[in-house]
């Protein structure tokens, strides 16, 4: 069976193409989401159904999106479930609707018309491929790569890196296996999701994509990079407004990755790196340093999931303010 978004909430058989559910999560990014949906409306893949998830923005985004794109399926969450929670709820719906693939797509992207077709073709060619990623460029610099594959080093820092980030596209890339696919755009085989599970809510934001790819590989699935599928990313638009949360989740989840995929000794090593890097950045504002210190500690001690006020702890704030004062004193004394 194949799906298409001709009517919200409906499914239509359109021949022998795989049914793909594209999930776009909106949280206080209406302009970007409208532009993303407009580019998806021009996608050429016939078996595609788009799910637009309004993730508790607290405004009229749900009504605007439903009015502008009635051909898509719309889901409205009453509160912000985070990246993992919002996408997982939509994946539940899509799998129940019969999707054979689920494609997670950041709302601050614009896509090439054939990007779904290229990703599905790669997955359909090999039933052992569980995850497929695309070639992603900076939206502001359309010929400069943001993601050209992923590398994981569980003993390094950071643990996960994008291949060829910041390089100009030469057009010479070839597809192949990669360590991880970024959650900005990842095609997931439904069979794989049912076997290894969805995004882990322990992460909230950041590194849930790396974790999922590691679980898929451990279960025998291949993770694939398909450079013929292309899109452009307005990098960090969706999280730029949350301040300390970006630092808290970004650094905490590096420790969580190490603790879950290696051992506590490795997690302690990564936590020490976090603390050392935070202390070295003496010019940081105390609230930024406190978010990193708190995040590393929580990652080590198992405090996971979404946190109400990341980085706003009086204890870590006092430590960070103390170092900031000492840095100012050293400046005044001419010691630095």
CATH classification at residue 94 = 3.90.550.60
CB 97 within 8 Å of CB 23: no
Q: What is the pTM of this model?
A: 0.85
Quote the pLDDT of residue 246. Answer: 82
Domain extent, residue 151, equals 20-233
- Domain match, 229 and 286 both: no
Q: How far is CA 273 from the centre of its chain?
A: 23
Assess if residue 6 is contained within a domain.
Answer: no
Which of 204, 233, 262 represents a domain boundary (last residue)?
A: 233
Same domain for 118 and 221, yes or no, is yes
Task: Report the chain (336 residues): mean pLDDT per 10 consecutive residues.
Answer: 35 65 96 98 97 95 97 94 93 98 98 98 98 97 96 82 92 88 98 97 89 97 97 72 75 86 77 74 70 83 78 64 59 62
pLDDT at 299: 83
The pLDDT of residue 330: 60
pLDDT of residue 239: 45
pLDDT score, position 131? 98
> Cis bond leading into 158, ω under 30°?
yes
Find where tokens 């849930």 sit: 208
Q: In this structure, are strands 129-138 and 222-233 parallel, antiparallel, or unpaired? A: parallel
Same domain, 270 and 229: no
């Amino acid at each position: 069976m194949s799906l298409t978004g001709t009517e919200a909430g409906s499914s239509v058989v359109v021949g022998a193409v795989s049914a793909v559910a594209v999930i776009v999560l909106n949280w206080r990014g209406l302009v970007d989401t409208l532009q993303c949906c407009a580019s998806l409306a021009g996608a050429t893949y016939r078996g595609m159904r788009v799910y637009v998830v309004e993730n508790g923005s607290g405004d009229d985004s749900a009504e605007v999106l439903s009015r502008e794109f009635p051909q898509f399926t719309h889901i409205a969450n009453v509160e912000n479930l985070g990246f993992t929670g919002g996408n997982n709820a939509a994946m539940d719906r899509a799998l129940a609707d019969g999707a054979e693939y689920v494609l997670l797509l950041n709302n601050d992207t614009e896509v090439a018309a054939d990007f779904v077709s290229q990703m599905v073709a790669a997955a359909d060619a090999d039933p052992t491929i569980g995850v497929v990623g695309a070639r992603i460029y900076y939206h502001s610099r359309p010929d400069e790569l943001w993601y050209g594959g992923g590398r994981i080093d569980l003993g390094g820092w950071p643990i996960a890196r994008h291949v060829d980030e910041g390089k100009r596209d030469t057009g010479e890339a070839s597809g192949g296996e990669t360590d991880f696919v970024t959650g900005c755009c990842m095609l997931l085989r439904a069979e794989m999701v049912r076997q290894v599970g969805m995004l882990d809510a322990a992460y909230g934001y950041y590194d849930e994509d790396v974790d999922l790819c590691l679980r898929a590989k451990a279960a025998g699935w291949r993770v694939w990079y398909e450079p013929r599928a292309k899109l452009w990313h307005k990098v960090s638009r969706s999280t730029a407004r949350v301040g300390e949360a970006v630092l808290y989740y970004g650094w905490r989840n590096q420790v969580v990755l190490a603790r879950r995929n290696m051992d506590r000794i490795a997690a302690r090593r990564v936590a020490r790196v976090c603390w050392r890097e935070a202390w070295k950045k003496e010019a940081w504002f105390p609230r930024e340093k406190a978010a990193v210190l708190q995040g590393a500690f929580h990652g080590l001690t198992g405090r996971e999931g979404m946190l109400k006020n990341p980085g706003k702890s009086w204890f870590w704030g006092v430590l960070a303010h103390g170092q900031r004062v000492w840095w100012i004193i050293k400046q005044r004394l001419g010691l630095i």
